[in-house]
Structures are given as C-alpha cells and as structure tokens.
C-alpha cells in the first residue's frame, strides 16, 4: 500500500491510495466468501458455485462493492496513520482504477483537524469577584429553608390573597368558542407564581370560596401557540379551595428539626459557611471562564463547518434528552414554540462554534505543555467515579469501554490544562 497526500483546501486533504493487486485479490475472495450463499448459478446448487463460475455468470463486478469496502477500510486506516492525518469526518471515496490483475487505486477526500495557532495564554488578566456573605444573605437563606418546610392550611373565612394556593376549575373561550388546552378541573395554582398568562392570577385575588369569576385576559404576542397569540379570551373560573402557607417559627427547635444542629446560632453559622463555599466556587468558575475565553480569543483557528455541525447535533441530542425527562421531546417542543429545528440550530450555532474552538485551543495548549493523564491520576479519577455510583473500583472498571477510558483521561487533561491557565493568570 502506498499513499500520496495533497492539501486541496485549508482543512481538506486528498489521499491517493494504491493497493497491491494481490491484496485486492484477497479482498475479492473475502467478498465472495461473504456473499457466495446468495448466488444462484445454473448447474450448481444455490451457494455452491465456485467463484470463477459466479464471476463468469454475473460478471466480476458483482463482488466489487464488498471488495472495495474491505480494501478501502484497511488501506485508508493505514494511510491516515502513516501520514499522521486526523480526520474529523467520514471520507469521500472515489475509485481511480479497478480490475483483475491491476493495482486498486482510489482517492479519499477528507476534512481534517484544523491547525491552531496559539496566542498569549499565560499571564492573562481577569478580576476575581470578592466573596462577602452578609447577615442579610444568611437571613434570606433561612427564609427560603423555612418556606420549603412550610405547610398549607385550608382557609374558609377570607378571600383569595397573593401567595395563596387555590384549587380551581376553569374553562376558556375565544369569541364564545372553547379552545384546546383551555379548560381543566381541580387545577392547583399558586397566586403570584406567574404560571398563567399575565392578568389571570391577579383577577382571582379577592375571590371567595365557591365563587365563580370571569377572568378576561389577552394572550401575549409571543405566546407559543399561533392560534392563540394576541387574542382576547374569557376564562370562567370556580374557586374550589383556598390554602395559605403557614411558615414555621425560626428558632432553636426549627434548627433542630431541619438540620443536625441543636441551636439556631449553630445552624446560621453552617448556612454562612455553605453560602461562602458556594459563592467562592461561583467566583472561581467565573474567573476561570474569563481566563479560558481570553486564551481562546487570542488563538487563531479555521474551524471546519462539519465540527460545528457535529457539536450542534450533540446539543440537540442533549436538549431532546432533557425534554424527555419532562415528558416531551424535541419535535413536540419545536411545535409548541412554533419554530423549525433549523432556526433552533441557528440560535445555538455561535455557542457550538465557541465550544469547538475552546476544546481545540485547550488541546493545543496541553500538547505544547506536554500535559497528560498519569496512571495514578486515572486510577484516582476512576475511584471517585466508582464511589459516586456506590460501586467497587473493580466492578466499575468492568463496564468501561475504550471510549469511556479515553473520555476520563481527556477530562483529566482538560482539568490540568485549565489549572495551568488559572495558576499563571493575574488577578
């Protein structure tokens, strides 16, 4: 096997690969062995005719497709390996020469990993936010915890107020005609939550238990349903039940009930500690991201469209998975929002481009700085992952495939590369 490499565009190369005639003959025989049971030659039982008779009856071209696949796959892999070519897409294969007794020649045109020219990536400057947790911050967090531990108490002696939870029946209509999705019975609604379109919840304030209320609203112009956006509607609403939120008293007993601490002061100290850790982590991430962004901005790289499209495919797949957890899918989401997938991909394209460039730049920095994942670092990472899944290291490793191992090692390298940028940055 021999190969010539020609650069035909900034990120595209064409390989002309020549496979020895004897090697291609072996691929032809391999193709015959694979397909011989399908051939029906007069004078022979199906699948029993020798290759020479099959080629005479059908023509030798009958074996070309499989033989080409066998020959191309092996020769292409060797060619890109020997020439240190890093493809980012499947190659376009074109046959140059094929025939009995001849060397098999084909070209493979493929998009390759782009060259990255690094700019400054050490000594970059960014401002790290100062972390200050005030008494008010602690009190606000206490209130949120108390709110999560509140109880709903049924009330019958007063009308609906802001913050109440009501059970309602409602039926909506436009010009007297009910519309799809516009009615429900026994619906639970928190007044002031903004769950319904603007104006709906406000008009229930002051309504009494068992009363029926006419709610007049107009659907927003940006409403997801084309049939409803911008249209006035009437909802007939019945108040079935009113509940108010009863907050616990914030004292030592409350602290003991919701935490491992006996006193409120101890609980507050722990809240302050956790808020500080959370805020510090956020400040560190923000600083880290700013440094990475500057290193990426300073680098030059012509990114092939195929890499951006692949990243967009990943983003769409992740979005679809998230939506499925919520009982929907991407197709349903697009229909609800009234947009095409192409528009959504266009919206995400800038972020996808940035993701790809960031990874390419970090990979280049790791290469220049000789950053790698040691065996000890890999074992430590696997140990942590096994603990998260409550498995032994041995059991966890049994389920790791080659791609998983590569992903873990790449994650370690990425983390170490980012640490190098941050450690060499200025605040």
pLDDT, one tens digit per residue, over 80-89 is: 999 999 999 9
Give yes or no for a contact between 167 and 241, defined as CB atoms under 8 angstroms apart: yes
pLDDT band at 326 (very low <50, low <70, confident <90, very high): confident
SS3 (DSSP) at 374: coil
pLDDT for 337 beyond 80: no
What's the rounded Cα separation, in Å, for the pair 280 and 286?
10
Same-domain pairing of 287 and 223 = no
What total of structural domains would you count in the chain? Answer: 3
Same-domain pairing of 217 and 302 = no
Q: Cα dihedral sign for 74, 75, 78, 81?
A: negative
137 within some domain:
no
CATH code (residue 331): 1.10.3120.10
128 within some domain:
no
Residue 17 belongs to what H/E stretch?
strand 12-19
Choice among 165-169, 269-273, 335-339, 361-365 with the minimum mean pLDDT: 335-339
Query: What is the structure's pLDDT at 225?
Result: 79
What's the rounded Cα separation, in Å, for the pair 292 and 286?
10
131 within some domain:
no
138 within some domain:
no
pLDDT for 421 beyond 90: yes
139 within some domain:
no
pLDDT band at 149 (very low <50, low <70, confident <90, very high): very high
Same-domain pairing of 185 and 331 = no
Parent domain of 6:
2-113
Q: End of a domain among 216, 246, 276?
A: 246
CA dist 54 to 25, 51, 66, Å? 15, 5, 15
Same-domain pairing of 44 and 186 = no
pLDDT band at 238 (very low <50, low <70, confident <90, very high): very high
Contacts of 14 (CB under 8 A, 6+ apart): 5, 6, 8, 107, 108, 109
Query: What is the structure's pLDDT at 243?
Result: 96
Same-domain pairing of 354 and 382 = yes
What's the rounded Cα separation, in Å, for the pair 231 and 218?
5
50 within some domain:
yes
Same-domain pairing of 273 and 411 = yes
Q: End of a domain among 64, 92, 113?
A: 113
Query: What proportion of the chain, given as a percentage, has pLDDT over 90?
Result: 80
Query: What is the structure's pLDDT at 224?
Result: 77
CATH code (residue 186): 3.10.50.40
Same-domain pairing of 269 and 218 = no
Residue 66 CB-density burial (10 A; 0-12 exposed, 13-18 middle, 19+ buried): middle
Average pLDDT over residues 169-182: 91
For the chain, give the mean pLDDT. 93
pLDDT for 45 beyond 90: no
Residue 398 CB-density burial (10 A; 0-12 exposed, 13-18 middle, 19+ buried): exposed
178 within some domain:
yes
Q: Which residues pair with 233 in a beta bridge?
A: 217
What's the rounded Cα separation, in Å, for the pair 207 and 210?
9
pLDDT for 336 beyond 80: no
Query: What is the structure's pLDDT at 261?
Result: 95
135 within some domain:
no
Same-domain pairing of 321 and 398 = yes
pLDDT, one tens digit per residue, over 268-282 is: 999 999 999 999 999
DSSP single-letter state for residue 260: S
Average pLDDT over residues 22-26: 92
pLDDT for 226 beyond 90: no
| Residue 217: CB atoms within 10 Å | 19
CATH code (residue 99): 3.30.70.1050
Same-domain pairing of 15 and 100 = yes
Same-domain pairing of 269 and 418 = yes
What's the rounded Cα separation, in Å, for the pair 12 and 87?
9
- What is the end-to-end Cα distance of the chain in Å, rounded? 56
Nearest-CA neighbor of 203 among 244, 240, 241, 159? 159
Query: What is the structure's pLDDT at 215?
Result: 94
| Residue 193: CB atoms within 10 Å | 10
DSSP assignment string, 212-226: EEEEEEE--TT-S-T
Same-domain pairing of 277 and 417 = yes
Residues present in the chain in total: 427
Query: What is the structure's pLDDT at 100?
Result: 84
Same-domain pairing of 414 and 275 = yes
């Amino acid at each position: 096997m021999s190969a010539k490499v020609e650069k035909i565009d900034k990120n595209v190369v064409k390989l002309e690969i020549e496979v020895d005639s004897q090697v291609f003959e072996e691929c032809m025989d391999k193709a015959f062995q694979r397909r011989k049971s399908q051939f029906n030659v007069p004078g022979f039982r199906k699948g029993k005719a020798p290759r020479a008779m099959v080629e005479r009856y059908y023509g030798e071209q009958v074996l070309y497709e499989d033989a080409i696949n066998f020959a191309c796959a092996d020769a292409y892999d060797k060619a890109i390996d020997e020439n240190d070519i890093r493809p980012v897409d499947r190659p376009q294969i074109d046959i140059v020469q094929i025939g009995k007794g001849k060397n098999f020649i084909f070209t493979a045109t493929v998009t390759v990993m782009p060259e990255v020219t690094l700019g400054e990536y050490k000594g970059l400057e960014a401002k790290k936010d100062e972390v200050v947790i005030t008494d008010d911050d602690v009190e606000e967090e206490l209130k949120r915890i108390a709110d999560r531990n509140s109880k709903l108490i049924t009330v019958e002696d007063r009308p609906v107020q802001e913050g109440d939870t009501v059970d309602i029946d409602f039926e909506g209509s436009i010009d007297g005609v009910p519309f799809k999705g516009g009615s429900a019975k026994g619906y639970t609604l928190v007044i002031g939550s903004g769950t319904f379109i603007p104006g709906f919840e406000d008009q229930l304030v002051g309504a009494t238990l068992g009363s029926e209320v006419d709610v007049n609203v107009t659907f927003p112009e940006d409403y997801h349903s084309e049939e409803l956006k911008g249209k006035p509607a009437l909802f007939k609403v019945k108040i079935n039940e009113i509940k108010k939120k009863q907050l616990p008293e914030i004292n030592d007993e409350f602290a003991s009930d919701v935490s491992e601490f006996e006193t409120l002061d101890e609980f507050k100290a722990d809240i302050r500690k956790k808020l500080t850790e959370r805020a510090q982590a956020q400040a560190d991430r923000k600083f880290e991201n700013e440094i990475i962004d500057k290193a990426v901005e300073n680098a030059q790289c012509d990114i092939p469209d195929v890499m951006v499209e692949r990243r967009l495919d990943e983003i769409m797949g992740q979005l679809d998975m998230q939506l499925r957890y919520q009982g929907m899918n991407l197709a349903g989401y697009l229909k609800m929002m009234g947009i095409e997938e192409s528009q959504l991909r266009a919206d995400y394209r800038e972020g996808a481009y940035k993701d790809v460039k960031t990874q390419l730049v970090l990979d280049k920095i790791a290469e220049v700085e000789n950053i790698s994942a040691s065996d000890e670092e890999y074992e430590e990472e696997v140990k942590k992952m096994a603990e998260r899944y409550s498995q032994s290291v041995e059991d966890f490793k049994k389920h790791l495939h080659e791609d998983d191992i590569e992903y873990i090692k790449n994650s370690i390298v990425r983390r170490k590369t980012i640490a190098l940028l941050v450690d060499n940055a200025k605040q």
